[in-house]
């Protein structure tokens, strides 16, 4: 292992042990650093952390901008910043090349897709109807329908990410006190209350079916084999019921739409954005503010269709 490899290994160890970053983030860091190393090699340079200067970083940024989406570019630059900030803090480099280097990458605004309240109601009602039509409640088919309902109810009731939902452990769900404990990005934990009686009732039925007394399964949502339910399974399930309910005619319904809808409806109900930030598990309020653009669109719709000034004309 050469010096640079040793430095990167130390950095990743620091991120895992001291910063408690997820395996997913560590893999992304490693991939980004390998790509930077390959870029340097292709341009006749060596990945020597003491010799990386502002010009090298600007040239690399330029190449990234030509070949990647803005979001990807920002992540790869953030990885390099994290590395050099760590090296500077540990006194392993004389100068941080990012010091006094201004990088402005403006990301185009993409408003997240949302469902209307009526669409959510139609979707969830459809799954409950499928449950009522299942005559034999001892079958695995019935168990799956109950699981599907709980997945949809939780996504809408809590606004959690699909990865957070699939990673829920049995111990993270406290049905007696009506809350779930969620581990989000950066291993940040948050508690979300379950405030709908209908949601807790169906969750209790799910627990009775999938986690009877003495069961040894660690994940809350499990498949036929008792393994963790995958994100892809949730996506397929939502597409199936979106098609069955007819709400997929004008949009592709995804798990993340429930998160967007959760935030948007709370904002429209005039809930303080700081509370919504906490519920969503956003590290900064800037991430949550994307939803204000959606509510401004709603505001325009309301003022256009309902403001009394639109109902009269001057002669």
- What would the pLDDT profile of 236-272 be if each residue is shown by its tens digit? 999 999 999 999 888 899 999 999 999 999 988 888 9
DSSP string, 150-175: HHHHHHHHH---HHHHHT-BGGGEET
Question: Could you give the maximum distance between any two Cα atoms of the chain, in Å?
Answer: 84
How far are the Cα atoms of 51, 97, 187, 237 from residue 136, in angstroms, in the given order? Answer: 70, 67, 41, 21
Q: What is the mean pLDDT of the chain?
A: 90
Q: Tokens in use for 227? A: 């393994």
pLDDT at 287 (0 to 100) = 84
Q: Give the mean model confidence (pLDDT) for residues 62-91.
A: 92
Contact status, residue 202 vs residue 153, Cβ threshold 8 Å = yes
pLDDT digits (tens, 9 = 90+) for 279-314: 999 988 888 888 877 776 666 776 677 656 566 666
Active-site positions? Answer: 161, 185, 256, 259, 282, 291
More confident site: 120 or 214:
120
The torsion angles phi and psi of 22, rounded to 5 degrees, stand at: -75, 160
What pLDDT score was predicted for residue 314?
Answer: 64
| SS3 call for 262 | helix
What structural domains does the chain harbor? 3-89 (1.10.150), 117-303 (1.10.443.10)
What whole-number distance in Å separates Cα of residue 221 and Cα of residue 237?
A: 13
Mean pLDDT (whole number) for 86-90: 93
Q: How far is CA 23 from CA 29, 185, 230, 252, 275, in A?
A: 10, 11, 17, 30, 28
Partners of residue 169 on adjacent β-strands: 219
pLDDT, tens only, 172-198: 999 999 999 999 887 789 999 999 999
Residue-level pLDDT at 292:
78
Helices (H) and strands (E) in the chain, counts: 13, 3
Strand blocks (E) in 47-196: 173-174, 179-183, 189-193
215, pLDDT greater than 90:
no
> What pTM was computed for the model?
0.69
């Amino acid at each position: 292992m050469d010096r640079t490899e040793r430095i990167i290994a130390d950095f990743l160890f620091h991120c895992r042990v001291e910063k408690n970053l997820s395996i997913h983030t560590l893999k992304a860091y490693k991939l980004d650093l390998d790509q930077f190393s390959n870029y340097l090699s292709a341009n006749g340079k060596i990945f020597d952390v003491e010799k990386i200067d502002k010009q090298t970083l600007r040239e690399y940024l330029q190449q990234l901008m030509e070949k990647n989406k803005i979001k990807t570019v920002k992540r790869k630059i953030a990885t390099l910043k994290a590395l050099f900030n760590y090296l500077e803090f540990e006194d392993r480099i004389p100068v941080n090349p990012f010091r006094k280097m201004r990088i402005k990458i403006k990301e185009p605004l993409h408003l997240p897709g949302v469902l209307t309240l009526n669409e959510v109601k139609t979707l969830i009602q459809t799954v409950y109807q499928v449950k009522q039509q299942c005559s034999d409640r001892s079958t695995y088919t019935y168990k799956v329908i109950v699981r599907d309902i709980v997945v949809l109810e939780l996504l809408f009731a809590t606004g959690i990410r699909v990865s957070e939902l699939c990673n829920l452990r049995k111990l993270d769900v406290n049905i007696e006190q009506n809350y779930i404990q969620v581990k989000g990005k950066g291993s940040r934990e948050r508690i979300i209350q379950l405030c709908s009686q209908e949601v807790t009732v169906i969750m209790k039925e799910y627990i009775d079916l999938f986690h009877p007394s003495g069961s040894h399964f660690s994940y809350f949502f499990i498949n036929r084999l008792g393994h963790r339910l995958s994100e892809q399974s949730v996506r397929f399930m939502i597409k199936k019921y979106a098609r069955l309910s007819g709400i997929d005619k004008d949009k592709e319904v995804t798990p993340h739409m429930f998160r967007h809808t959760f935030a948007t409806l709370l904002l429209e109900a005039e809930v303080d954005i700081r509370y919504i930030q906490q519920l969503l598990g956003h590290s900064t309020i800037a991430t949550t503010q994307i939803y204000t653009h959606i509510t401004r669109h709603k505001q325009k719709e309301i003022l256009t269709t309902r403001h009394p000034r639109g109902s009269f004309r001057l002669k």
